[in-house]
Amino acid sequence: MKRKDLIKNVWGIGLTLLLLFGCSPQASLTPTVAPAKPKPGATLVGTIAMDWAKSAQITLKVSDDGKAITSVRVDFTNIRCEKSTGGSMTTEIDGLNAPITGGKFEVKSSSIGEISGRFTSPTAVQGTVHLDFFDGNDECGTWEWSATGN
């Protein structure tokens, strides 16, 4: 086989391998993390990545059996929404029984809005929160958050 033909064959094989493996879902550069089971009884505290407040914190409590979110608390300093501006605010919902299924959960509340999350480890969770206070009368947008705990 001539050198020129050998080079063509090598390029052909390389291109074939690239098409077969380089474009497959297994070759994704962004790893996906499967949801994890939460640690029973954990308390997780973190921040809401919100530019409409000087600070925004979220606290979640997991049930003793690890199957539900039992409490959510959000704390804001100098929050600005559609109708309210500049104040500090704390809202806590106790007595929840928001199921954690497959490491994921969702909480809907007329006093906060909607919070969804997924556990990335037994003591770490991340998600989004759509803040809509006062029974839907004060829209504050949708923001990402993350929390870790004990």
Average pLDDT over residues 14-32: 47
Task: Provide the whole-model pTM.
Answer: 0.75
Cβ atoms of 145 and 48 closer than 8 Å: yes
Q: What is the pLDDT of residues 64-78, one digit of tens each?
A: 999 999 999 999 999
Closest by CA position to 65, among listed 43, 89, 40, 83: 40
Task: Give the pLDDT confidence score for residue 80 in this predicted structure.
Answer: 83
Planar angle of CA 144, 145, 146, nearest 5 degrees: 140
User: Which H or E run includes 6?
Assistant: helix 3-17
- Give the whole-angstrom CA distance, residue 110 versus residue 133: 7
pLDDT tens, residue by residue, 79-133: 888 777 778 889 899 999 999 999 999 999 888 889 999 999 999 999 999 998 7
Q: Is 5 helix (H, G, I), strand (E, B) or coil?
A: helix
